[in-house]
Amino acid sequence: MVDTAEQQAYVEKLTADATELKAGYDKYAADAAEYKVGFDKYSADAAEYKAGYDKLLVDSTEQKAQYDRDAAVQQAYVGKLAADAAELKAGYDKYAADAAEYKAGYDKL
Rounded distance between C-alpha atoms, residue 67 and residue 75, angstroms: 12
User: What number is the average pLDDT over the span 83-93?
Assistant: 96
What integer pLDDT is reported at residue 71 of this predicted model? 96
Model-level pTM greater than 0.95? no
57 to 26, 66, 94: CA distances (angstroms): 46, 14, 55
Query: How many angstroms separate the most distant Cα atoms in the chain?
Result: 159
DSSP 1: -
Q: Is the pLDDT of residue 79 over 90?
A: yes
User: What number is the average pLDDT over the span 16-26?
Assistant: 97
